[in-house]
Structure 1
Amino acid sequence: MKLTTSLRGRLFAGLAVFVVGTALVAGYLAYRWAFDEAIELQDAILLQVGSLAANNRLEGRLPSEGNIDGEAELLIQDLQPRGATGDSVSMRRDLPGDLSDGLQTIAWNGEQWRILVRTRSDGSRVAVGQPTANRDEVAQDSALRTIVPLGVLIPCLMVVIAIVVDRSLRPLSSLARDIDAKQSDHLEKLPVEGIPAEILPFVASINRLLERIGAMFDRERRFVADAAHELRTPITALIVQADNLERVALSEDGRDRLQSLKTGTRRTAHLLEQLLTLARYDSEAATDPSSSEFDRIVKEVVADLLPIARKKSIDLGFIRAEAVSVHAESVALGVLARNLIDNALRHAPAGGRVDVSLFAENDHVVFQVDDTGPGIPEADLDRIFEPFFRGSRARGDGTGLGLSIVRRIVERCRGAIRLENKPLSEGAGLRVRVTIPSSKPR
């Protein structure tokens, strides 16, 4: 049998077994104690009634009156002298005359009886008796009433245990949710408020690990930024020299090779610019910039990219374009808009559409880009923001850094970004929706 690996389950199961086991033992002991006490009480009643019958010549069955159960009836009978016989009274219904004095259990008329025999001062003898079945039934009822509260208490105690265990481990569940909600490159320390003292060393170890990983990431970012910065100068020089070679008389094959060289150097230059941009937004501390006119920035980006759209026969335009402002750097907003629209143009087919929407919604600004491209496979959606990940349907000469940069900018603006494939009713394509708090809340 596979044991549960849940700490909550183990605690509850262990406490449940202990409580139920203890309750069963306690219930059995309480039942036996109550049963024996009830029997002793009934024997004491027989002794008292026997003394009364011996002193007052009582005989027959004591009547059951009021709310007295028939089970509590007692038989009082004078015994025949030992060895005596008589026809006036049926021996089948009389108690044996040779019973010894005191309490005893006998078989009479097909039943077990508890009998008390007393001898009077004149030598006559009297017996007081009660069927043991009635006595046992009364004792069992009394014993069961004793353990009923325990039986009711156990389920209530199990519920209390479950609640206590759940509340005690709730900080761990909250900590797990916080860890799951973290982005892969966000390494803030885990909060220690409300964490049980037994778990604090574990949380402290995780925080120290996060510090080491963060330091490693910082070294990696600095290396990438330094390398990109150092490579900008030679790459720029290559681009200049390649442009100069266009003025030189070259063969057709030489011009083809020169064109390939220029394409490669420009792509490398674009990659370096993206790397520097990513490094800047990773390393710079978040600030509270002034308000920027987001609509003006997006319109400028669309105007800059219109020639590229016309060249690819793509219909690029606005669906909605409201005047909105956000607290963000205008340069960062320009990078955000350019990367998203350029990404849509890269994946939209010839004759397709790229629709841009910018509008206010409650206290936020929504920037949305829809294209008619193939969309993103569902398996790639979880990784699409990873640096250098271009997906299984990569097109063009992209670097795989554009969406990573966009996410950094959106997070610095305290916003959110969501990528989703458009529903079939709206046709194929990808929808990117960016939500940023507005600088002019309603």
Structure 2
Amino acid sequence: MGKNPNRSLQAILTRRLTLTVGVFWLAGSVLAAMTMYHEMQEAFDNSLVTTAYRYAPLIDEYLKDHKGGSPKEVLPSPAMGEILTDDHGDGDGDEELGEDYLMYHVRDGGGRLLLRSFNAEEEPFEAPLVEGFYNEEDFRIYSAVLMGGQRVIQVAEPLEHRREALMESVLAQFLPIALLIPVVIIQLIVVLRGGLKPIKRVRDEIEERGEGNLQPLEQDEAPEEISTIVTAVNRLMAKLEAALSVERSFTANSAHELRTPIAVALAQTQRLLAELPAGHAARKRAVQTEEALKRLSRLSEKLLQLARAESSGGFSPTGHNQDLGPTLNLVVEDIRRAGMEGAHIRFDADNLATLSANIDLDAFAICMRNLIENALKYGGDEEPVDIRVVEGHIVQVANGGAPVSPDELDQLTTRFKRSSNKADGSGLGLAIVEAIARNTKAELKLYSPRPDHADGFMAELRLHQS
């Protein structure tokens, strides 16, 4: 089954940590924004109160000097340093005279306008003449009642200014967060990648293990949580190794112990056949016995090969690639000399000199003998078995005959599984090759029909190179 990167532990932790940090960060920012909103409102309101009472003495002095003031009098602009009258602007607050957002009206106890700031409207505010705050549609107003109610200073601030200041403050807070989120994600990926290296190392070691390699996993640098898993896996592999060792030992010992009795029985049967005259009634049964003993002898030999394939590593003794051409040539010639029934072999030796891989010569010979014998047994009699070397590390063995169904093709490397075309084999040949390929990091691929053909079967052994 292929690896799904979206279901890796690193991806899951990155998504969840990013989501968790983002949610708490957003919640904290919203809380901070709400707190900032209330604090800024208090600060703005305090500014209105402070302005009203600080301006009170100055306004009192100004009104004394100007005989009590009039509705048309405008307090000098801080930006221009002069008194503005009707000839200087319309008093609607649109003039660009600086960043003075506060405006005020000075009224007497009866509500008559005595004085206004340069940026205030001509009409008095609708706020009542009582001490305290009042909200109009566009203004926040504070009324300060002075001189026993004979004078009222109403200081106003545009609500738009407050909203703008609040928005700028919120953006100043959220913008760095938005910029930091990608940085946090990248940092999480880097940190998690480094922290999960022990897990990936253990995973890779487990994936590389096969039936022929059940050695304990290394856990020198593994964290405590991973070390516990490694220990459990090592215990499981030790149990598997013991069980497989018992099975291999039983198979090998049984096959070995049977070789001598089978050989003796076969020799006695063949001697009996030599002594029986032609046409004797028992001769047919003796021939059948001889064939059965031969099949039993071949089966015991295959069982020994299987036990050896599953118990040994199968790599080259030097640990490096070695020349396999002479071995393949020797196997082909040996099968030809043996006179196996239907032993028609077409061997393309053009690339034989380039064949090399990191595999033991005996293990390679066992693989090739089984592949060739399998092709001879199950192939069509009218076509020879083709053997080719490709790319210096791939050996292809193809034969004719009826194609194998996809369901059967997937099961051919199973022990004692034979093609439905013929059933006189042991069903162990491809299982032996698969076991050796697995232990030597090689790959056995089966095709039916053959590539570029409508029938037949091809086994492709891709050898591992160091």
Normalised to the residue count of structure 1, the TM-score between the two structures is 0.78
Q: Distance in 1 between matches of 2:113 and 2:373?
A: 124
| Residue 341 (str. 1) matches residue 369 (str. 2) | no
The one-letter code matched in structure 1 to 2:215 is E
One of 282, 290, 294 as aligned partner of 1:262: 290
Q: Distance in 1 between matches of 2:186 and 2:322?
A: 56
One of 142, 162, 165 as aligned partner of 1:115: 142
Kindly indicate whether the alpha-carbon contact (under 8 Å) linking 2:127 and 2:134 is maintained by their aligned counterparts in 1: no
Distance 1:28 1:267, change over 3 A: same
Q: Distance in 2 between matches of 1:291 and 1:54?
A: 102
Structure 1 runs not aligned, ≥5 long: none
Kindly indicate whether the alpha-carbon contact (under 8 Å) linking 2:106 and 2:152 is maintained by their aligned counterparts in 1: yes
The aligned residue for residue 416 of structure 1 is 442
Q: Distance in 2 between matches of 1:356 and 1:325?
A: 13
The aligned residue for residue 30 of structure 1 is 32
Q: Distance in 1 between matches of 2:263 and 2:442?
A: 35
One of 88, 93, 110 as aligned partner of 2:123: 93
Structure 2 runs not aligned, ≥5 long: 1-5, 63-73, 76-90, 115-120
Distance 1:162 1:331, change over 3 A: closer
Q: Distance in 2 between matches of 1:9 and 1:292?
A: 43
| Residue 52 (str. 1) matches residue 78 (str. 2) | no
Question: The residue matched to 2:106 in structure 1 has which SS?
Answer: strand
Kindly indicate whether the alpha-carbon contact (under 8 Å) linking 2:402 and 2:421 is maintained by their aligned counterparts in 1: no
CA positional deviation for 1:427: 4.0
Q: Distance in 2 between matches of 1:42 and 1:85?
A: 25
Q: Distance in 1 between matches of 2:189 and 2:312?
A: 47
| Residue 129 (str. 1) matches residue 153 (str. 2) | no
The aligned residue for residue 238 of structure 1 is 265
One of 224, 227, 236 as aligned partner of 1:200: 227
| Residue 138 (str. 1) matches residue 141 (str. 2) | no
Kindly indicate whether the alpha-carbon contact (under 8 Å) linking 2:212 and 2:311 is maintained by their aligned counterparts in 1: no
Question: The residue matched to 1:205 in structure 2 has which SS?
Answer: helix
The aligned residue for residue 399 of structure 1 is 426
The aligned residue for residue 67 of structure 2 is none
Q: Distance in 2 between matches of 1:62 and 1:285?
A: 93
CA positional deviation for 1:162: 5.0
CA positional deviation for 1:172: 3.0
Kindly indicate whether the alpha-carbon contact (under 8 Å) linking 2:106 and 2:153 is maintained by their aligned counterparts in 1: yes
Q: Which moved more, 1:47-56 or 1:239-248?
A: 47-56
Identity of matched residues, %: 24
The one-letter code matched in structure 2 to 1:32 is M
Matched pairs, number: 420
CA positional deviation for 1:222: 1.6
Q: Distance in 2 between matches of 1:97 and 1:372?
A: 105
CA positional deviation for 1:26: 1.0
Cα distance per residue 1:370-400 (max 9 Å; x no partner): 22234554445555444x2424536342222
| Residue 317 (str. 1) matches residue 343 (str. 2) | no
Q: Distance in 2 between matches of 1:349 and 1:283?
A: 34
Cα distance per residue 1:54-75 (max 9 Å; x no partner): 404464677753774xxx6332
Distance 1:283 1:146, change over 3 A: closer
Q: Distance in 2 between matches of 1:237 and 1:296?
A: 34
The aligned residue for residue 80 of structure 1 is 108
Distance 1:198 1:83, change over 3 A: closer
Cα distance per residue 1:122-165 (max 9 Å; x no partner): 95443221243543443344234323333443454345445544
Kindly indicate whether the alpha-carbon contact (under 8 Å) linking 2:276 and 2:283 is maintained by their aligned counterparts in 1: no
Query: CA RMSD of the aligned region, Å?
Result: 4.1
| Residue 302 (str. 1) matches residue 305 (str. 2) | no
One of 266, 272, 277 as aligned partner of 2:300: 272
The one-letter code matched in structure 2 to 1:55 is L
| Residue 215 (str. 1) matches residue 242 (str. 2) | yes
Question: The residue matched to 2:162 in structure 1 has which SS?
Answer: helix
